[in-house]
Amino acid sequence: MDAENAKRQFLEYIEIERGRAVKTIENYDQYLTRYFTQMKIKKTSDISEQNIREFRLWLNRQPGTGSGSMKRRTQNYYMIALRAFLKFLRKREIESISPEKIELAKLPERELDLITPAELERLMDSADGTDEKDLRDKAILELLFSTGLRVSELCSLDSDIDLSQDSFSIRGKGDKVRVVFLSPTAKAAVAAYLKARKDMGEALFVNTRSDNSIPSRLTSRSVERIMKKYAMKAGIAKKMTPHILRHVFATDLLNNGADIRSVQQLLGHASINTTQIYTHITDAHLREVHKKFHGKGRD
CB 32 within 8 A of CB 83: no
Active-site residue, 173 included: yes
Nearest to 204 by CA among 245, 233, 168: 168
One of 7, 83, 187, 269 is an active-site residue; which one? 269
CB 39 within 8 A of CB 193: no
CA distance 150 to 158: 15
The 3-state secondary structure of 241-270, one letter per residue: CHHHHHHHHHHHHHHCCCCHHHHHHHHCCC
CA distance 98 to 102: 8
Active-site residue, 290 included: no
Q: For residue 291, what are the contacts with CB-CB under 8 A and spacing of at least 6?
A: none
Active-site residue, 246 included: yes
One of 34, 71, 90, 173 is an active-site residue; which one? 173
One of 28, 35, 193, 278 is an active-site residue; which one? 278
Phi, psi of 83 (to 5 degrees): -65, -40
One of 83, 187, 246, 247 is an active-site residue; which one? 246
Buried b (16+ CB within 10 A) or exposed e, 8-38: eebbebbeeeeebbeebbebbeebbebbbee
CB 170 within 8 A of CB 177: yes
CA distance 119 to 45: 56
One of 56, 136, 150, 247 is an active-site residue; which one? 150
Active-site residue, 18 included: no
Neighbours of 58 (CB within 10 A): 15
In DSSP notation, 8-49 reads: HHHHHHHHHTS---HHHHHHHHHHHHHHHHHTT--BGGG--H
Total residues belonging to the chain: 299
Catalytic residue IDs: 150, 173, 243, 246, 269, 278
